[in-house]
Structures are given as structure tokens and as C-alpha cells.
Amino acid sequence: MVVAAGEGEVVLRGGFGVVGKVSGAETGGAFSVVEHPLDPGVLGAPPHTHANEDETSFVIEGEVGVLIGDEEFEAGPGSYVLKPRGVPHAFWNPGPDPARILEIISPAGFERYFEELAGVLSAGGPPDLGRILEVAGRYGLTFHMERIPELLERHGLRLG
């Protein structure tokens, strides 16, 4: 299989996007790959913890700020960021230019979270936090909402 540049299923659009590149169905459940375009100044993923999967991000373009546990890092093009399950993490675009990361998720399955999230967000009106948390819970995802305001303020970010 080959997924050419610019190909993939656009699952979410906006400041934080999700483009499906390789699904778990295509890897026998071993892993999945999604691409996240990030607008400047956007908190792509608020602080959260995965119970079931590890993530490895590869920065394709731009600069990406990352919180892993209690440590913050900046990662530029060509950098790899390891985010193990059970460790709170977040990422954002601190720069003035767009950024893109490729996310490898192992084992596969979590890519379906983004599809369900897109359904909730496309319902119209303000996002229904209760439904978002319900979907997240089905995927073993725990958000750390209390950490969001500090990240937004400290880095001058907005929610994607």
C-alpha cells in the first residue's frame, strides 16, 4: 500500500486537524497513523493520558511544543516525540507558521476516537463536553482539564 503526499481521509478540519493515513484494519491492529495539521497558536491536544496506547510523533514541518508528564519540550522538523501510555501529555503549535505532525499510534484502534469526535463536533453549536468525555472514556482517554488554562495563558494559545 502507498499513501501519497496529500492523500488520506480528512477526519477533522480546523486549527487542529486529523487526516487518517493508515488504519488499524490495514496493519492487522498493530498500529495506525494519522497526520495532525496545526494552525499557529493552537493547542492541538489538551493534557490527556492514554490507558491503552503509546504514541510517537514525527514533526514534519513547523515547531511543536510538547508537555510530557511535567516537562515541556520544543520539537522542530525531523524530531521524534515519544508519548507512552499512562503519562499525561499535550501538544501545541507555539510558532507563527503552520505545523504538521505524523502520529503513530500503537496498538491501533484509537484512530476511531477521532472519527467519533468529528461526529460530536459536527453536531452544530458549542461542543458538547459531556459527549466528548463519554467518547473519550470509551477509548481509555482521560483529559486533565485543570491544566488547560495554564497552558493557554503561558504560551498564548487558543483551543483548536
- pLDDT tens for each residue of 89-104: 999 999 899 999 999 9
User: Shortest CA distance to 117 belongs to which of 106, 104, 131?
Assistant: 131
> What is the domain class of 9-159 according to CATH?
mainly beta
pLDDT confidence of residue 128 = 86
Q: Which residue has the cell 483551543?
A: 159
The model carries a pTM of 0.91
**Average pLDDT estimate for 1-24:** 90
Distance between CA atoms of 70 and 67, rounded to whole angstroms?
A: 7
pLDDT confidence of residue 140 = 97
Distance between CA atoms of 103 and 82, rounded to whole angstroms?
A: 10
- Return all residues near 93 (Cβ < 8 A) that are at least 6 apart: 38, 39, 40, 41, 42, 44, 62, 63, 64, 65, 99
